[in-house]
Amino acid sequence: MTVQQEAVSGTGAGVPLEVWIDQDLCTGDGICAQYAPEVFELDIDGLAYVKSADDELLTEPGVTTPVPLPLLTDVVASANECPGDCIHVRRVADGVEVYGPDAD
Ligand code: SF4
């Protein structure tokens, strides 16, 4: 099952998802910003942060941003490839992590 199909079944869709980064574990390699620059960006401190829908860098610890469905595959790839294991994708409704180090 593809990520997009999962999103349309139980894991995601229609089911709103959000993503956050644990900067304490970020290595600053920038893989996430390469996969999904609409969602992730490196700040001047060399660490990755999520961005709001209107492209604002969100730097508060633990802050989340919605995952746009067209970008879900890229965001999940970022979480899977993240060397810091610090990208967390969770359901908005119940906060359950569906992709990332704390997902089942
Ligand atoms: S992929 Fe992970 S470790 Fe690398 S910059 Fe992004 S959040 Fe940080």
Q: What is the pLDDT of residues 64-92, one digit of tens each?
A: 999 999 999 999 999 999 999 999 999 99
* 57 CB burial (10 A radius; 0-12, 13-18, 19+): middle
What domains sit in the chain, N to C, each tagged with a CATH number?
3-99 (3.30.70.20)
**CA 92–ligand 1 middle distance (angstroms):** 22
Mutation probe of ligand 1 site: the residue of 22, 32, 58 with most atoms within 8 A of C-beta: 32
What pTM does this model have? Answer: 0.90
3-state secondary structure of 82: coil
Chain centre to alpha carbon of residue 96? 13
- pLDDT exceeds 60 at position 5: no
**CA 2–ligand 1 middle distance (angstroms):** 23
**CA 88–ligand 1 middle distance (angstroms):** 11
